[in-house]
Amino acid sequence: MSPKAADIQRILDELYPEVPIPLQHKDAYTLLVAVVLSAQCTDERVNQITPLLFARADNPADMARLDVEEIREIIKPCGLAPAKSKGISGLSKIIMEKHGGKVPESFEDLEALPGVGHKTASVVMSQAFGHPAFPVDTHIHRLAARWGLSSGKSVEQTEKDLKAAFPESSWNKLHLQIIFFGRQYCPARNHKPEQCPICSKYG
């Protein structure tokens, strides 16, 4: 690990020794649905909507029985409701038909579900199942480029660069630490690099 990566990890560990998972959930399925809803939507808003949705259906069997229109009405405040409601309905049906009602524990099977891309699969693999993964969202993508840890050409390239920069055992925690850090110290707009614990050294 480079001295810079080691120092960044040390700063993040000092600031965020414990990192809660920002999306409220009780199992792999409710986490999967919450992550699908979180695309282009704040975690705060997702956490306001999921209790309403999960009161109707908090498992794939019940969700598969709901009309797509009913799901769409509930999740409307999260944005992209037509696509997300179809995805949630479709993935619930496939989990029942192909996976015996359990969220599959592999990247391949997760990414084959409707509405589930690599980032969503990475979050579920790391946070629900504890497998090493480095989900890269727009915030992590931006910060990795800002800190000179990645060329930032694409989210895929950033994920490769970060996996190469940090030990595998730290990935699951690190991706959450970077998200929390970005919100608190390193926002996209009105960022003050001189006041940021990392950008003031490496920005």
Largest CA distance in the chain: 54
Q: pLDDT digit string (tens) for 5-48?
A: 999 999 999 999 999 999 999 999 999 999 999 999 999 999 99
CATH architecture for the domain at 28-128 = Orthogonal Bundle (1.10)
How far is the C-alpha of 13 from the C-alpha of 171, rounded, in Å? 12
Q: Which residue has the tokens 């990392």?
A: 198
Between 1.10.3720.10, 3.60.70.12, 3.30.70.20, 1.10.1670.10, what CATH number should domain 3-18+133-202 receive? Answer: 1.10.1670.10
Identical fold, 3-18+133-202 and 28-128: no
Could you state, in order of their start, the residue ranges of all structural domains in the chain? 3-18+133-202, 28-128
From the CA atom positions of the chain, what is the Rg in Å?
Answer: 18
Q: pLDDT digit string (tens) for 164-199?
A: 999 999 999 999 999 999 999 999 899 999 999 999
Catalytic residue list contains 119: yes
pLDDT the model gives residue 159: 97
pLDDT over 90 at 138, yes or no: no
pLDDT over 80 at 152, yes or no: no
Q: pLDDT digit string (tens) for 101-118?
A: 999 999 999 999 999 999
Catalytic residue list contains 161: no
Determine which one of 4, 93, 137, 163 is catalytic. Answer: 137
How far is the C-alpha of 14 from the C-alpha of 12, rounded, in Å? 5
Q: Are 40 and 60 in contact (CB under 8 A)?
A: no
Q: Which residues contact 171 (CB under 8 A, 6 or more apart)?
A: 126, 132, 133, 134, 162, 163
Write down the pTM of the prediction. Answer: 0.91
